[in-house]
Amino acid sequence: MYDDTVVDERAIAAAVAAVRARIERACRRAGRSPDEVTLIGVTKTFPVEAVAAARAAGLEDFGENKVQELVEKAGRIPGALHGGPVRWHMIGHLQRNKARDVVRHADVFHALDSRRLAEALERRAADAGRVLPCFVQVNVSGEPSKFGLDPGAVHPFLDALAACEHLHVVGLMTLAAPADDPEDVRPQFRLLRRLLETYDARDNPQVDLRYLSMGMTGDFEVAVEEGATHVRIGTALFGAREAP
Ligand SMILES: *Cc1c(COP(=O)(O)O)cnc(C)c1O
């Protein structure tokens, strides 16, 4: 699939710098500190050499949306979980039967969207003796094709996670609807932030909502203006992907 891709290290370094500069400008507009925003390089479909090149350019966080690719790349460049030099973020939909792979290889999981998946991850994390930091995925655009909980289901879902001692819910994640003008999706990012701000964790020790994982190549500046703490960026860093 990607074996014959040539990785242009200089182009990746320049792209990392350019995206960081755009994040900084968006932060300045919003009166935020760039230190609050983690740039996750989404390396799906690109070879592990692209991860190495971006790491050399200072990037420490990487995202994959398929378990198989995560396992392959994290096998070559381990995550902090195993004392490695990067953090691996599993950002794609996960089937329950792959929960163990994620617990083994992902530093952070961004797509928690059902109780049954939470139960599977909880069991595997308990077996492995680790705590898995998770984001709950929310479908803010209402598109039927999107994964994620309906906004109205998020708070009850968070309440139900109180029993999952090996999951630590650190934030909410979303994919906005594709839009020609990123201004169109600003209300979707605002909705995610409001869901975070209005959750009352009370005596739920597993939930400590601090982070918003939102914003991709087409809309990350608007996401940062609306409070994103984690932006997941592929195309602007590594170039266009071939159609799947
Ligand atoms: C592919 C992907 C991204 C990055 O998309 P770009 O538009 O290439 O920046 C972000 N989040 C998720 C969940 C993805 O699957």
pLDDT of 2 over the 70 cut = no
Q: How far apart are CA 100 and CA 127, in angstroms?
A: 9
SS (H, E, C) 182-224: HHHHHHHHHHHHHHHHCCCCCCCCCEEEEEEECCCCCCHHHHH
pLDDT of 9 over the 70 cut = yes
Q: How far apart are CA 34 and CA 36, in angstroms?
A: 5
Q: Does ligand 1 have an atom closer than 6 angstroms to the CB of 171?
A: no
Q: Which residue has the tokens 């919003």?
A: 30
Prediction pTM value: 0.96
Q: Does ligand 1 have an atom closer than 6 angstroms to the CB of 213?
A: no
Q: How far apart are CA 65 and CA 233, in angstroms?
A: 12
* CA distance readout (Å), 38 to 4, 74, 212: 30, 19, 10
Confidence band, pLDDT 50/70/90 cuts, at residue 201? confident
Average pLDDT, rounded, for the chain: 96
Q: Does ligand 1 have an atom closer than 6 angstroms to the CB of 148?
A: no
Ligand 1 atom at minimal distance to the Cα of residue 216: 9
Q: Residue 85's closest CA among 111, 67, 108, 59?
A: 59
Coil vs helix vs strand at 162: helix
Residues in the chain: 244
Q: Is 109 exposed, middle or buried (0-12, 13-18, 19+ CB in 10 A)?
A: buried
The class that CATH gives domain 9-238 is alpha beta
Q: Does ligand 1 have an atom closer than 6 angstroms to the CB of 232?
A: yes
The more confident residue out of 2 and 188 is 188
Helices (H) and strands (E) in the chain, counts: 9, 8
Ligand 1 atom at minimal distance to the Cα of residue 91: 13
pLDDT digits (tens, 9 = 90+) for 210-239: 999 999 999 999 999 999 999 999 999 999
Q: Does ligand 1 have an atom closer than 6 angstroms to the CB of 94?
A: no
**Distance from the alpha carbon of residue 161 to the mean position of ligand 1, in angstroms:** 27
Confidence band, pLDDT 50/70/90 cuts, at residue 1? very low
Q: How far apart are CA 98 and CA 80, in angstroms?
A: 20
- What's the pLDDT score for residue 37? 98
Confidence band, pLDDT 50/70/90 cuts, at residue 244? low
pLDDT of 5 over the 90 cut = no
- What's the pLDDT score for residue 202? 80
What is the phi/psi pair of residue 224, to 5°?
A: -65, -40
Q: Residue 209's closest CA among 172, 178, 160?
A: 172
Q: Does ligand 1 have an atom closer than 6 angstroms to the CB of 215?
A: no
Task: Break the chain into its structural domains and give their ranges.
Answer: 9-238
pLDDT of 161 over the 80 cut = yes
pLDDT of 24 over the 60 cut = yes
pLDDT of 34 over the 60 cut = yes
**Distance from the alpha carbon of residue 208 to the mean position of ligand 1, in angstroms:** 25
The whole-number average pLDDT for the span 105-123 is: 98
pLDDT of 184 over the 70 cut = yes
**Distance from the alpha carbon of residue 202 to the mean position of ligand 1, in angstroms:** 33
Least confident of 2-11, 31-40, 90-99: 2-11
Q: What percent of the chain has pLDDT over 70?
A: 97
Ligand 1 atom at minimal distance to the Cα of residue 218: 7
pLDDT digits (tens, 9 = 90+) for 42-86: 999 999 999 999 999 999 999 999 999 999 999 999 999 999 999
pLDDT of 152 over the 50 cut = yes
The residue contributing the CA closest to ligand 1 atom 15 is: 65
* CA distance readout (Å), 15 to 19, 105, 189, 239: 6, 27, 25, 9
Q: Residue 167's closest CA among 107, 105, 113, 122?
A: 122
